[in-house]
Structure 1
Amino acid sequence: MKKNLYNSGEEVSIKVSGESVVISKCQYVKNMKRYSYIVEEYPNTFFFEDELIKET
């Protein structure tokens, strides 16, 4: 299992919209072998690592 790219409380951007969001929860999805993230702004939606980008 690889390490997650983002941690809770970290500010990132959604690649498609460029919107700045804050990670609230991170979870490893075993059958997909990657992490999913829930952000504070959209608590009913999850994102995968490739849909997010670190803020600079």
Structure 2
Amino acid sequence: MKNSNNLFKDGDVVSIQKTGEMVTISKCQYVKHMKKYSYTVSEHPSTFYFEEELQKPQEI
């Protein structure tokens, strides 16, 4: 799904805020009843994350 409102797109490398682990977005999906996006990552395909649980890597 392509939409300019989502923070991340397929292939983006992000970190999981809770663990700091770097992961790659494999799928993005809008959850209509929650009115936010969920993301599946390549490293943990059976788990999904919401935007607030992920962050772009810090620039050095």
Letter in 2 for 1:10: D
How many residue pairs get aligned? The number is 55
Within the candidate set 5, 8, 27, 1:6 is matched to 8
Q: CA RMSD in A?
A: 1.0
**Correspondence list, 1:32-47, <5 A:** 32-47=34-49
Moved over 4 A (4+): none
Question: Under a length normalisation based on structure 2, what TM-score does the superposition of the two structures give?
Answer: 0.89
Larger strand percent: 1
Task: Extract unaligned runs of 5+ from structure 1.
Answer: none
Aligned-pair identity in percent equals 58
Query: Structure 2: any 5+ residue segments left out of the alignment?
Result: none
